[in-house]
Amino acid sequence: MLVYTASLCLLWASCILAAPATKQTRQKVLLISFDGFRWDYDRDVDTPNLDKMARDGVKALYVTPPYLTITSPSHFTLLTGRYIENHGVIHNMWFNTTTTQTKPYYQTQFVNEWWDNGSLPIWITAEKQGRKSGSLHFPGTASTYQGMTPTIKEVEPLLYNYKDETKWRKNADKVMGWFKDLDLDFVALYFGEPDGTGHRYGPDSPQRREMVKQVDRTVGYIRDSAERHGVSNHLNIIITADHGMTDVYRNGLVEEITLSKIPGFAFSDLSFHLVDFGPSGMLLPKPGRLEKVYNALKDAHPHLHVYKKEEMPERLHFAKHERILPIVLWADPGYVINGYFPVQFHKGEHGFDNQELDMKAFFRAVGPAFHKDLEVGPFETVNIYALMCHILGITPEVNDGHLDATKHMLVTSPRPTSGEPVNYLQKVFMGLSAVAGFLLVVFMVVMSHKMLTKKHKNKRLESSKDLTDKEVSKVTSF
């Protein structure tokens, strides 16, 4: 009986120790995006504030954005934890294939049905579960979702100067005021640089390096502002980006991709097209002309990739949504896709395959939920949503990410070896070992119980036998 009781105590203690710790202070999250901040932009620039943030928190080697690696789709993946084919914001531009009408990036922010098509951003999920949220300039802020908006939001005006450092600081103080005065739990904050500078001057330009210094100063200011507003003790700051940036080949260095020059291809075979927007494009052939268009473009240029929608590589997660057109194009790094003639003059571009290293983004996180001075391996940005929901203590919507990809960053998990990616096979083996150990304990408890029961039963049988023998003896003597 003693072994049985001890085993039950052991099982009870194991359950208690395995239960997650909870804190009475509700943790808050500030998600910041610096548009187009490539994973290695801090390597050729002195960035003392980003370096300090890494020492005080977590730094990833890089993070992988979803394909298509452009602003609105990638940011909506951060907000929803869905791949682009699942959340439906497939491009920066709203378009109508029937009328051939399109709207540029800023105007698309106000087309509600483009954003509100089934997937909820984290600020709505938080509001639905009793939290208060806000968003400042983040893509998707202007729209409502299922008729809901965050507690407070602000959309930048048309022709907004995304480079103005003074406005950056005002926005940082504004957000910290929201946390303090409105007691918000979550805020998304967007900065439009260094994307614009990388486009105009190129990712290796001195102008880009100066802009990275501005970003670094702003990171320091944001953390100082959190201290001044008295919210740093329970505020977790996550800083990342939507994509990277790479140089564009021009000036006769390469044979450019111009669709109108490809033999057998004609724009008259199309009902609608989206090209002249960097290295990616989509085509809608007229009825009965899909094979003609596809065969003309396939293998037409060594650096042009042409896929039928249903044949897209599964790893890109860019095929299933009805908004994605029947033919998808993308170019290799350094190339852009021109339609009738070259009209693109950026020195830097994004929108390439998300496997390309230049498309990777940076990641920093600091706050009471995170380990300190920890560098982790790469992971996909689709997993950041589940991480934020976990910190906020809210139940996530259906999503394509997983907390297992990021939970090793948290103080509630054992500290991994710095700089090494998490060995998930080892985790699985450890998990199976734990299950096997648990079953072994259960087996021992059951067998001990059976043995004790059998022993007691044998004692009772022996006692009964002795009693019977004595009675028989008494009868015989009589």
Mean pLDDT in each 10-residue stretch from start to end of the chain (478 residues)? 42 38 72 98 98 98 97 98 98 97 97 97 98 98 98 97 98 98 98 98 98 98 98 97 96 89 97 95 98 98 97 97 98 96 93 98 98 98 98 98 98 75 45 56 58 53 42 34
d(CA 47, CA 58) in angstroms, rounded, equals 16
Report pTM: 0.83
Task: Say if strands 235-240 and 363-366 run parallel, antiparallel, or are unpaired.
Answer: antiparallel
Find the length of the chain.
478
Question: What is the structure's pLDDT at 376?
Answer: 98
By the 8 A CB rule, do 141 and 153 touch? yes
Question: What is the structure's pLDDT at 344?
Answer: 87
The 3-state DSSP class for residue 422 equals: coil
d(CA 155, CA 337) in angstroms, rounded, equals 31
d(CA 187, CA 150) in angstroms, rounded, equals 9
Residue 368 tokens read as 């009471």
d(CA 72, CA 17) in angstroms, rounded, equals 43
d(CA 352, CA 278) in angstroms, rounded, equals 9
Question: What is the structure's pLDDT at 251?
Answer: 78
> Which residue's entry shows tokens 């909870």?
22
By the 8 A CB rule, do 137 and 171 touch? yes
d(CA 400, CA 76) in angstroms, rounded, equals 13
Question: What is the structure's pLDDT at 12?
Answer: 41
CA gyration radius, the chain: 30
Q: Which residues are known catalytic residues?
A: 71
Any idea where the domains of the chain sit in the sequence? 24-247+354-424, 257-345
Question: What is the structure's pLDDT at 250?
Answer: 83
d(CA 21, CA 222) in angstroms, rounded, equals 29
By the 8 A CB rule, do 135 and 188 touch? yes
Question: What is the structure's pLDDT at 434?
Answer: 57
d(CA 42, CA 60) in angstroms, rounded, equals 13
Question: What is the structure's pLDDT at 451?
Answer: 60
d(CA 45, CA 58) in angstroms, rounded, equals 20
Instruction: Find residue 274's DSSP bridge partners.
Output: 282
CA-CA distances (angstroms) from residue 436 to 71, 283, 433, 449? 47, 54, 5, 20
Terminus-to-terminus CA distance in the chain, angstroms?
43
The arrangement of secondary structure in 24-247+354-424, i.e. its CATH architecture, is 3-Layer(aba) Sandwich (3.40)
Phi, psi dihedrals of residue 361, rounded to the nearest 5°: -115, 170
Question: What is the structure's pLDDT at 437?
Answer: 60
Instruction: Find residue 33's DSSP bridge partners.
Output: 190, 240
CATH 3.30.1360.180 fits 257-345, yes or no: yes
> Which residue's entry shows tokens 């920890």?
374
The 3-state DSSP class for residue 250 equals: coil
Name which of 298, 262, 299, 269 is nearest 284 in CA terms: 269
Question: What is the structure's pLDDT at 423?
Answer: 45
Question: What is the structure's pLDDT at 121?
Answer: 98
By the 8 A CB rule, do 151 and 134 touch? yes
Phi, psi dihedrals of residue 380, rounded to the nearest 5°: -85, 145
Question: What is the structure's pLDDT at 238?
Answer: 98
